[in-house]
Amino acid sequence: MVWSSLSLAQSPEFSQGNDAPDMFNPAGPNAESIQEIFWVVIGICAVILGLVGTTLIWFIAKYRERPGDNSEPPQIYGSRAIELAWTLAPLLTVTLLAVLVIATVIKLRADPPSTAAHRVRVVGHQWWWELNYPDHGFTTANELVIPVSEPDLAKPIYLQLESADVCHSFWVPRLAGKTDCIPGRTNSMWIQAGEPATYFGRCAEYCGTQHAKMLIRVDCVSQADFDKWVENQKADAVSDDSVAAGRDRFMEMACMNCHAIRGTRAAGEFGPDLTHLMSRKTICSGLALNDRENLTRWISKPDDLKKGCRMPDMRLTEPDVKLIVDYLLSLK
Ligand code: CUA
């Protein structure tokens, strides 16, 4: 795990919009419990490693073969004390670890300590995240926006995790552990963050060629900013006549079969909802910053940014790409 986050941190693409997730800096109660049990288990294992390692080295030195000594070492059979010692010691250790881990799992499974909860339905797709806020009636993608918890008022987010195709796993290490998104099944978890920040995550279950580029952003903002964001997301798409030509091209091409833009004819569900595309900081599931240059690259040749992605190369002419990008940039 450490290795994979180190190697991702070195990949230049991620500096564009998505930093490496940090496993050692918990920012929510679930991640804190996981961090605690992690260090307890590492501590117990380190003590065992230390005892076994020093004993081993000590014995190797003390009882090594010496020149001229060909005598047989003392042979011990059926020593009750030794048999009991090497049966009970591992048994007690494993039992202790199991009790500690099970207690943590029970704690993580318990409901969050607040009624001020929001719900989000998360659907894993190859290779992006559909995020549906059922209480507010809108859908967005890849960037989960949540309100910050206050010291006297926890604001947990219940996540209902599903998959549209293969198994994925939702993982934002600073907030909580991994939970799988499994086809035909609904899993659940909750997250909560105590400080406004952006928390980065990953799909943590191999799900095909672009598994490594299925990133998650959780933007934790103040309640006021969250309310403002929700109001904007609930509204239909901006209808700006100065980009009517691009909108027409979008509707004539196959774009509208896969993407929804509320307030227009486009109602596809196969790809991300684009109603408020420009409210998102990144495109391609956290792969690139959401700006004119990357949108142009993405629409002209999706495979260049994300090889094997499900968005087809529509072989658009350069003027068409420009018109469509102009239109997308209007979707605030
Ligand atoms: Cu989705 Cu790996």
Q: In this structure, what are the phi and psi dihedrals at residue 295, rounded to the nearest 5 degrees?
A: -60, -40
Please indicate, yes or no, whether the overall pTM of this predicted structure exceeds 0.75. Answer: yes
Q: Which atom of ligand 1 is nearest to the CA of 212?
A: 2
Residue 233 contacts residue 277 (beta carbons within 8 Å): no
Which residue's CA is minimally distant from atom 1 of ligand 1?
168
Nearest to 128 by CA among 6, 13, 249, 280: 280
* Distance between Cα 65 and ligand 1 center (Å): 54
For the Cβ of 201 lying below 6 angstroms from any atom of ligand 1, the answer is no
> Which residues pair with residue 123 across a beta bridge?
130, 162
Q: With residue 215 as reference, give the H or E element that holds it.
A: strand 215-221
* Distance between Cα 195 and ligand 1 center (Å): 27
Transcribe 62-109 into DSSP letters.
HT---TT--PPPPP--S-HHHHHHHHHHHHHHHHHHHHHHHHHHHHHH
Distance CA 200, CA 68 (A): 64
Instruction: Identify the DSSP state of 128.
Output: E
* Distance between Cα 71 and ligand 1 center (Å): 61
Residue by residue, pLDDT tens for the chain (332 residues) are: 444 444 444 344 444 455 778 888 899 889 999 999 999 999 999 999 999 999 999 999 998 888 888 888 888 888 899 899 989 999 999 999 999 999 999 988 887 766 777 899 999 999 999 999 999 999 999 999 999 998 888 889 999 999 999 999 999 999 999 999 999 999 999 999 989 999 999 999 999 999 998 999 999 999 999 999 999 999 998 888 888 888 888 888 888 889 999 988 888 889 999 999 999 999 988 888 999 999 999 998 888 888 888 888 888 888 889 999 999 999 99
